[in-house]
């Protein structure tokens, strides 16, 4: 696995933090980037309806820091004119890459012709891509699902059309819109896309371990791999992946570092937002992060019932002290830990699509 380029932008290592609405915001992206091993970060999907109507939330979602470069802004919508305007705004704020969302399955997004809705209206997608291409100079990329439904899988045709429109990187999540997050991603179709187009192709779906990521990368021949939910469970997954690619033993954070990363996240959140939403975000990450740790399920319960920053910090300290006193690294999955639900983008899409708060 070697670095690849999107025009002249080097993606090194070829590992991408997959965009996740409500998760991959300014704070989370920097937290992950600082752990190392990430070649590209992408914003949450941003509504062009919100952007072009000057919704403050949508504008805020384009904010990024120099340390994040290369940085891609992902936009979604179904109206070519608004998509063009949104793309221009992303270029204006200094994004390195403009990515079009062609995968979100949320009903509200699809109903308005955006997200994976574009997979069943390919002429509209073509118009959108051509409109955008005419008005930006930064590279245009696409993130898509493999099709709308099992009977209408069209990833290869969509990818070819996109490349003809000037798209310079195709990212494929190997599920259909109707599949949602069920089953496993189909990496054979990702491979078919890779074989069909001349631009770099990155694959995506279910990479939560280095072994699985390497296997899928090897089988599909993709240029890059996107990791979404796996990064919430393990912020070091990119670094570990990079280590293995380069023939090193994968980095293993100790307990102290695991605790420190939660605290770092919390500090960054508190700087960014009022205490209440910061608590919510903290619970979200801590919930995923402690999946698979000894006593993680119980810790999450305690955390969910914490009502202040102080209480959360105390509970984190107590939890990690307990692990230390048991002389464990914290690894070890319990039955309760296996039951954790990972959120999908739907709930966030409801807010973003309406362009409201
Ligand atoms: C909470 C959540 C929010 C998501 N939001 C987006 C999004 O805004 N844009 C996008 O292209 N994909 C979004 N996705 C899809 C992910 O980027 C990724 O394609 C999918 O989760 C499969 O990869 P994974 O198995 O590595 O998580 C989201 C997924 C989740 C779980």
Q: How far is the CA of 318 from the centre of ligand 1 (A)?
A: 32
Annotated catalytic residue 345: no
Same domain, 193 and 327: no
pTM, two decimals, is 0.92
Domain containing residue 107: CATH number: 3.20.20.70
Same domain, 118 and 200: yes
Same domain, 130 and 88: yes
Give how far Cα 350 sits from Cα of 43, 299, 346, Å: 17, 30, 6
Residue 325 lies in a domain: yes
Same domain, 247 and 265: no
pLDDT classification of 329: cutoffs 50, 70, 90: low
pLDDT classification of 327: cutoffs 50, 70, 90: low
Residue 356 lies in a domain: no
- CA proximity to 100, closest of 187, 170, 40: 170
pLDDT classification of 350: cutoffs 50, 70, 90: very low
Same domain, 107 and 159: yes
Same domain, 8 and 102: yes
pLDDT of residue 353: 39
Domain containing residue 267: CATH number: 1.10.1200
End residue of a domain, out of 251, 275, 294 = 251
* Pair 292, 258: CB distance under 8 Å: no
Q: How far is the CA of 322 from the centre of ligand 1 (A)?
A: 34
Q: Burial, 101: exposed, middle or buried (Cβ in 10 Å; 0-12, 13-18, 19+)?
A: buried
Phi and psi at residue 312, to the nearest 5°: -65, -45
Q: Mean pLDDT across the stretch 3-11?
A: 98
Average pLDDT in the chain: 90
Same domain, 26 and 85: yes
pLDDT classification of 351: cutoffs 50, 70, 90: very low
pLDDT classification of 343: cutoffs 50, 70, 90: very low
End residue of a domain, out of 234, 251, 268 = 251
Same domain, 190 and 112: yes
Catalytic residue among 102, 104, 165, 345: 104
Same domain, 157 and 108: yes
Residue 207 lies in a domain: yes
- Is residue 20 in contact with ligand 1, taking CB distance under 6 Å? yes
Phi and psi at residue 203, to the nearest 5°: -105, 155
Residue 284 lies in a domain: yes
Residue 170 lies in a domain: yes
Residue ranges making up the domain that contains 45: 4-251
pLDDT of residue 226: 98
In the predicted model, is pLDDT for residue 357 greater than 90?
no
Which tens digit of pLDDT belongs to each residue from 58-92?
999 999 999 999 999 999 999 999 999 999 999 99
pLDDT of residue 330: 54
Domain count, the chain: 2
In the predicted model, is pLDDT for residue 100 greater than 60?
yes
Same domain, 247 and 323: no
Residue 132 lies in a domain: yes
Atom of ligand 1 nearest to the CA of 227: 26
Residue 49 lies in a domain: yes
Same domain, 67 and 207: yes
* Pair 86, 355: CB distance under 8 Å: no
In the predicted model, is pLDDT for residue 282 greater than 60?
yes
Q: Mean pLDDT across the stretch 322-333?
A: 66
Mutual angle of helices 255-272 and 309-325, in 10-degree steps: 170
Q: How far apart (Å, rounded) are the C-alpha atoms in residues 166 and 145?
A: 19
Q: Mean pLDDT across the stretch 180-207?
A: 98
Q: How far is the CA of 247 from the centre of ligand 1 (A)?
A: 29
Residue 318 lies in a domain: yes
End residue of a domain, out of 206, 232, 251 = 251
DSSP assignment, residue 340? P
Q: Mean pLDDT across the stretch 252-262?
A: 90
Whether the ω angle into residue 142 lies within 30 degrees of 0, i.e. cis, is no
pLDDT classification of 309: cutoffs 50, 70, 90: confident
Q: Burial, 180: exposed, middle or buried (Cβ in 10 Å; 0-12, 13-18, 19+)?
A: middle
Q: Mean pLDDT across the stretch 202-211?
A: 97
Whether the ω angle into residue 13 lies within 30 degrees of 0, i.e. cis, is yes
- CA proximity to 227, closest of 209, 201, 204, 211: 204
Same domain, 121 and 267: no
Percent of the chain at pLDDT > 70 equals 91
């Amino acid at each position: 696995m070697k670095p690849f380029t999107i025009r002249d932008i080097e993606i090194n290592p070829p590992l991408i933090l997959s965009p996740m609405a409500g998760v991959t915001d300014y704070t989370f992206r920097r937290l992950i980037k600082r752990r190392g091993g990430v070649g590209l970060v992408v914003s949450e999907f941003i509504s062009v309806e919100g952007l072009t109507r000057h919704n403050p939330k949508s504008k805020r979602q384009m904010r990024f820091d120099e340390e994040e470069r290369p940085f891609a802004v992902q936009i979604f919508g179904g109206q070519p004119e608004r998509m063009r305007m949104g793309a221009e705004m992303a270029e204006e704020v200094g994004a390195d890459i403009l990515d079009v969302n062609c995968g979100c399955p949320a009903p509200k997004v699809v109903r308005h012709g955006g997200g994976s809705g574009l997979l069943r209206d390919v002429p509209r997608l073509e118009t959108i891509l051509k409109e955008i291409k005419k008005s930006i100079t930064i590279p245009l990329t696409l993130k898509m699902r493999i099709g709308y439904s099992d009977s209408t899988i069209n990833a290869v045709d969509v990818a070819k059309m996109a490349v003809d429109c000037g798209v310079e990187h195709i990212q494929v999540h190997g599920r259909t819109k109707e599949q949602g997050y069920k089953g496993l991603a189909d990496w054979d179709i990702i491979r078919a896309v890779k074989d069909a187009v001349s631009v770099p192709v990155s694959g995506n779906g279910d990479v939560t371990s280095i072994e699985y990521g390497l296997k899928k990368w090897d089988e599909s021949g993709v240029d890059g791999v996107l990791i979404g939910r796996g990064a919430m469970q393990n912020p070091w997954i990119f670094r570990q992946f990079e280590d293995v690619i380069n023939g090193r033993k994968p980095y293993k954070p100790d307990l102290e570092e695991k605790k420190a990363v939660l605290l770092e996240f919390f500090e960054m959140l508190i700087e960014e937002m009022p205490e209440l939403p910061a608590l919510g975000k903290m619970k979200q990450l801590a919930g995923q992060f402690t999946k698979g740790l000894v006593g993680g399920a119980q810790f999450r319960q305690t955390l969910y019932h914490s009502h202040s920053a102080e209480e959360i910090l105390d509970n984190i300290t107590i939890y990690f002290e307990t692990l230390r006193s048991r002389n464990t690294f914290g690894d070890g999955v319990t039955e309760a830990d296996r039951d954790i639900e990972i959120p999908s983008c739907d709930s966030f899409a409801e807010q973003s699509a309406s362009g409201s708060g």
